[in-house]
Amino acid sequence: QVQLVESGGGLVQTGGSLRLSCAASGRTFSMYVMGWFRQAPGKEREFVAAIDSGGITSYADSVKGRFTISGDNAKRTLYLQMNSLKPEDTAVYYCAAGIGISAYGSSYDYWGQGTQVTVSS
C-alpha cells in the first residue's frame, strides 16, 4: 500500500508559478513510477507528467517546457514545478503511483486526494 497526499495548490495569475508536492508513505517510494494527472470541471482526467525510478520523465505536450516533475527519494516526495501558468491549467491535480511509466490513469494503482490549482486571467 502507498498513501499519497498532495499540497501546494492555490490561486495564481496567468504567467505565475506554483510548486505542487506529493508526500508518499507506505511501501518503498523509489520502487514506483510517480505521475501527475489533472482534471478540469466537465473534462476527463488527463496525464500531465511522470517520472520513473531512474529519473526518466515524460510530459504531456501541453505542459512541455513549462512544467518539471522531480522526486526526492530521501524525503519520499514528488514535486511538480509549474511555470508560465495559463488559465487552461486550472484543474484539480492528482499524484499517482504505478509500476510502469504511462500516460494512462489505469496504469496507476494509488492516487492522492487532489489539490486545486486555479489560474486567473
How does pLDDT run across 42-73, given as a tens digit for each residue?
Answer: 999 999 999 998 899 999 999 999 999 999 98
User: How much is the average pLDDT of 90-106?
Assistant: 92
Length of the chain: 121
User: How much is the average pLDDT of 82-101?
Assistant: 95
Distance CA 121, CA 26 (A): 39
Distance CA 32, CA 2 (A): 10
pLDDT of residue 53: 87
Q: Is it the case that residue 98 has pLDDT exceeding 70?
A: yes
pLDDT of residue 28: 66
Query: Tens digits of per-residue pLDDT, 14-45?
Result: 999 999 999 998 876 667 899 999 999 999 99
Q: Is it the case that residue 91 has pLDDT exceeding 90?
A: yes
Q: Cell numbers for 98, please give them.
A: 504505478
Q: Is it the case that residue 95 has pLDDT exceeding 90?
A: yes
